[in-house]
Amino acid sequence: MNIARIKRKKRLFIIFLAFLALSISGFLILNASRDSLIYFYSPSEILEKQGLQEKIIRIGGLVEENSVSYKNSTRIEFNVTDGNKKILVTYIGILPDLFREGQGVICEGKLNALGTFEANRILAKHDENYMPPEVAEKLKKSGKWKGE
């Protein structure tokens, strides 16, 4: 083996080692700061966690079927569910176009003392399924509709 080749191997090894060390430290940092990296909590996580009252947080889940009720023209109440637990959300304001029952939603606001979530911002979550309307109709009719 000539010297150039040994040097090349050494450089490759250093890069490999440095990248490995970086990946491990990156993984540890990201793992430790999970709480600030997740954009929203699910209703189950909210009910498990303590001390969230009066802090601005976000919850995400599906708008429960048949739970949306309008108290007056702009005040709305609905349940957000993750299929396991649910939380009552109240909101005053304009809703995004995609908001409807069975649709994913993210609410930003505070949990009050009664356990109701007072939202001051609502975002609609879009899922990863893309299809033409006719196909969606057919799927619903044939009973092959997944989710929602």
Partner 1 sequence: MAGIFNFLASPSRFRRLSERLYPYTIFLMVLFLILGLWYGIYSSPPDYQQGETVRIMYVHVPAAWMAMMIYFSMTLMSIFSLVWRHPLADLLAKESAPIGAMFTLIALVTGSIWGKPTWGTWWVWDARLTSVLILFFIYLGHVALIKLFDDEEKGSKAAAILTIIGAINLPIIKFSVDWWNTLHQPASVMRLDGPSIHIDMMIPLIFMAFAFLFYYLSFLFINTQAELYKRRVKKIYLQNLMRKEK
- Per CB under 8 A, the list member of 11, 49, 71, 75 interacting with partner 1 is 11
Residue nearer to partner 1 on the CB measure, 12 or 32: 12
Asked if residue 134 binds partner 1 (CB under 8 A), the reply is yes
> Can residue 120 be called a binding residue for partner 1 (CB under 8 A)?
no
Q: Does 30 bind partner 1 (CB under 8 A)?
A: yes
- β strands within 38-100, DSSP E: 57-63, 69-70, 75-81, 86-92
Nearest to 123 by CA among 69, 36, 60: 60
Query: Which residue from 56, 83, 96, 120 is in contact with partner 1, where contact means CB under 8 A?
Result: 96
Phi, psi of 92 (to 5 degrees): -120, 120
Q: Does 20 bind partner 1 (CB under 8 A)?
A: no
From the list 124, 94, 90, the residue with the least C-alpha distance to 109 is: 90
Using CB under 8 A as the binding rule, whether residue 130 contacts partner 1 is answered as: yes
Phi, psi of 38 (to 5 degrees): -75, 140
Extract the tokens encoding 51. Answer: 């001390």
Q: Looking at residue 123, what DSSP letter applies? A: E
114 vs 129, beta carbon nearer partner 1: 129
DSSP 102: T
Binding site for partner 1 (CB under 8 A): 8, 11-12, 15, 18-19, 22-23, 26, 30, 34, 37-42, 60, 95-98, 106, 121-137
